[in-house]
Chains A and B, each alone.
Chain A
Amino acid sequence: MASVLPRTVQGPPVPLRWPPEDNRIPREIFTDPDLFRWEMDAVFTGPVWVLVGHEAEIPQPGDYKTLSVGAVPVIVVRGADGQVRVLVNACAHRGARVVEGPRGNVLKGGFRCIYHMWTYAPDGSLLGVSLPDDFPVEFRKEDYGLPRARVALYKGLIFASFHEQTPPLEEYLAELTQGMDRVLGDGRLRYLGSIKVIFRTNWKLYVENIYDGYHVTALHTGFQVVRLRSHGGQRLVPNYERNGHLWGQSRSTRREELQPVLRDMSLFDVRTKPTTDHNMMVVFPSGVVTDYFDTIQLRYVLPLAVDQTLIEFTFFARADDPEDVVRHRVRQGPAVLGPAGAITLEDAAALERVQQSSVARGDNVILKGTPKRFPPYRHVDEAPIRHFYQAYRRLIGVPVEEGTP
């Protein structure tokens, strides 16, 4: 596999046990540190587009933010030319992290590495080095830029890929673009801030949870308390033959019909959409895009260790929202879909428990909706999880046998 980054591991750790049935997931994959290392290469720097931001987060020339693509620290930066680039956040000299802060603007001065004062332009090219006398004669600054990922944009969403054979973004996303059109409209957003939190769980357990429609009523008791239900909906798996994204659609009970258990029910308000239809999408492997109620949210899933995952919840308004709508979004977003949100905290508890018991070995089993082999699934099904793991297995080199979907 061709990649712009050198690989450290050459294949999946052996032996990796995988049951023949595609609805059984071996628990070892949540606890094996060698596999984790391999995933960072084979999945995150493999032929995938990883969601790393929205243009609204870096609106001005020189604006940047940092995060990681799997294990690779990156800088997402808007150049002086207005173009968005994704650079590896490791100095080309002796590897020091070049940018420290989470966000900033680099237009004046460039990115300067503290170790030996090499300075990079916003586009990653090396501008200058300190005291270059006695360098080898063949040293050329052009050979020492910060490595760049490929970048593609859709409705302002920024995707990065470290693999040369990743298909064009729109082909990769397939029908998921239609869901993004619904959530992002013309793509002009205003960034409101983010909340980052550590979940004590493997990154795959976090992502598969979003494919899972079965847990929603069982675990998120708040929905039962206010009698909020899904009036129809479905779970699609765009491009399931290859990358297996999720597009969950649901229409929820209107606020006027809910049990007014809270004094302030604006948590469940839908003021900015004509209907109470929500979209919850996963861009395989690690991006989340949703428009739950009036909340426009992206999530970046950053694996830290085999049993620890950083989730960054980012919140947006539309660029031309009046101030009272912005205020409503600011009050609603984290109160529903954030680490202290009415319907998020339970996932953290459930996933931590799955993680802790994964050392018990054996298989996790996916049942609800599985008699059906292909999408669309019902909104309450957990069957879409199978497609997540099929996509995952293709990348780590343990593909599902031919003939089984």
Chain B
Amino acid sequence: MNNADDLSVREQAARELLARYVRVVDDPDRVEEWPDLFADQAEYRVVTRENLEAGLPISVVCDDTKDRIMDRVTVIREFWGAGGRLEDRHYNQVRPRHVVGPVWTEPQEDGTVRVVANFVVWGTPTTDPAPRLLALGEYRDVVEFTARGPRFRSKWVVLDTPVLQDVFVYPL
């Protein structure tokens, strides 16, 4: 395989990882699969463009280790999810739907691939008549190639809206 082929294979693999990510975060029943989409040393951050551009360190979500990424599942299922009792969940049932694209990929010298993609997340509540805009912005990701296959080394979710339109239960 020549170098150009290798580059396009990596870019394709990074795109496929993103597609898999979207399938997982769109499905409230699959949140347990979400941490495995990250490398062993990884970060997941949700930040507003406003704080980012002002150089302010506060994030909406600051899962800066794999441990914290795994803890998010526990928080969703146990803390907010009342130990998994569907009828007692302490959040509103809103089914997320990610619309992602276009996707830009940029292979890096160190073998990783930088992925940037626009996204919109809609939430469809079970009770309300209308869907809600949950989030709007861009992903800024770094995908690395581990023994387990392509995984996110970092995923930055940069929100365009300085005001969050709702609270988020599931990962963005």
- Please give the residue numbers on chain A whose beta carbons come within 8 Å of chain B beta carbons, in ascending order: 102-103, 191-198, 200, 219-222, 225, 261-264, 310, 315, 326, 330-331, 333-335, 338-340, 342-346, 348-350, 352-353, 356
- Within 124-172 of B, Cβ neighbours of A (below 8 Å) are at 127, 162-169
With A263-B70, A348-B167, A349-B90 in contact, is A192–B75 under 8 Å at CB? Answer: no
**A66-B167 Cα distance, complex, nearest whole Å:** 23
> Do the beta carbons of B167 and A193 come within 8 Å of each other?
no
- CB of B36 within 8 A of chain A? no
- Which chain A residues border B169 with CB–CB below 8 Å? 345
CB neighbours (8 Å) of A222 from chain B are 75, 78-80
Interface set of B (CB-CB < 8 Å, partner A): 46, 48, 50-51, 54, 56-62, 64-65, 67-68, 70-71, 74-75, 78-83, 90-92, 127, 162-169
Closest to B172 in A: A340
User: Do B71 and A221 have beta carbons less than 8 Å apart?
Assistant: no
CA separation between A102 and B53, bound complex, in Å?
12
CB distance from B32 to the nearest CB of A (A): 15
Say how far B86's CB is from chain A's closest CB, in angstroms.
Answer: 14
Decide: B65 and A264 in contact? CB cutoff 8 A: yes
Chain B residues whose CB sits within 8 angstroms of the CB of A331 once the complex forms: 62, 64
If over half of A's interface residues share one DSSP class (helix, strand or loop), that class is named, otherwise mixed; here it is: mixed
A221 touching B79 by the CB < 8 A rule?
A: yes
Chain B's closest residue to A344 (CB) is B167
Residues of B within 8 A of A330 (CB): 57-59, 62
Distance from B83 Cβ to chain A, minimum over Cβ atoms (Å)? 7
The A/B interface has a contact count, at CB < 8 Å, of 114
Query: Which residues of the other chain, B, contact A349 by a CB distance below 8 angstroms?
Result: 90-92, 167
Question: What is the CA–CA distance of A262 and B73 in the complex, to the nearest angstrom?
Answer: 10
Which listed residue (B57, B58, B82) contacts A221, Cβ 8 A?
Answer: B82
Determine whether the beta carbon of A346 is less than 8 Å from that of B168: no
Contact among A197, A221, A315, A353 with B167 in the assembled complex (CB-CB below 8 Å):
A197
Contact residue among A200, A225, A264, A339 (Cβ-Cβ distance under 8 Å from B78): A225
Q: Pick the contact of A196: B90, B127, B162 (CB < 8 A).
A: B162
Contact indicator A264/B80 (Cβ below 8 Å): no
Contacts of B75 in A (CB 8 A): 222, 262, 342
Question: Once the chains are docked, how many angstroms separate the CA of A247 from the CA of B46?
Answer: 32
Tell me, in angstroms, the Cα distance from A353 to B126 when the chains sit together: 13
Write out the residue numbers on chain A whose beta carbons fall within 8 Å of the beta carbon of B166: 197-198, 200, 348
Given the contacts A346-B90, A346-B91, A334 and B167 also touching, CB distance less than 8 Å: no
Tell whether, in the assembled complex, residue B57 and residue A192 are in contact, meaning their CB atoms are under 8 Å apart. Answer: yes
Please name 19 pairs of A and B residues whose Cβ atoms are closer than 8 Å in the assembled complex, sorted by A. Answer: A192-B57, A192-B58, A193-B54, A194-B51, A195-B51, A196-B162, A197-B163, A198-B164, A225-B83, A261-B78, A262-B75, A330-B57, A334-B61, A339-B167, A340-B61, A342-B79, A346-B91, A349-B90, A352-B92
